[in-house]
């Protein structure tokens, strides 16, 4: 599934408005995308790293579309919610309808 730049912008707005933090871990990759007040890169221990170190010149939507997602975790309040894909996250956030629901 391709994630668009607009999807990422709407996801950042959703995270800001609802005080949530999204962490996207990739299979076999030592960095992850973190979306909160803005989009940033971090290592697996949670330390922020320069975007160029983690993902080079790739844009966030390109990273989310091209790397294999291992897990998506949404931190909300004191709890967390896990998803298997970015598509599930976008459906949960109300940005896109799930392809599973289109049947």
Q: Is the pLDDT of residue 98 over 50?
A: yes
Distance between CA atoms of 50 and 41, rounded to whole angstroms?
Answer: 7
Mean pLDDT of 88-103: 74
Q: Is the pLDDT of residue 100 over 60?
A: no
Distance between CA atoms of 12 and 44, rounded to whole angstroms?
Answer: 21
pTM: 0.89
Give the position of tokens 């960095």: 31
- Residues sharing a CB contact under 8 Å with residue 73, sequence separation 6 or more, in sequence order: 22, 23, 25, 80, 81, 82, 83
Q: How confident is the model at residue 58 (pLDDT cuts 50, 70, 90)?
A: very high
Mean pLDDT of 27-45: 96
Mean pLDDT of 19-33: 96
> How does DSSP classify residue 2?
P
The H-or-E segment that residue 54 falls in is helix 51-55
């Amino acid at each position: 599934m391709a994630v668009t730049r607009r999807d990422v912008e709407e996801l950042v707005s959703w995270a800001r408005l609802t005080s949530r933090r999204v962490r996207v871990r990739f299979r076999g990759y030592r960095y992850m995308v973190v979306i909160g007040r803005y989009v940033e890169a971090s290592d697996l221990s949670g330390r922020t790293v320069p975007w160029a170190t983690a993902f080079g010149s790739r844009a966030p939507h390109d990273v989310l579309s091209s790397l294999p997602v291992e897990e998506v975790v949404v931190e909300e309040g004191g709890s967390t919610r896990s998803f298997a894909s970015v598509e599930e996250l976008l459906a949960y956030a109300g940005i896109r309808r799930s392809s599973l629901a289109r049947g």
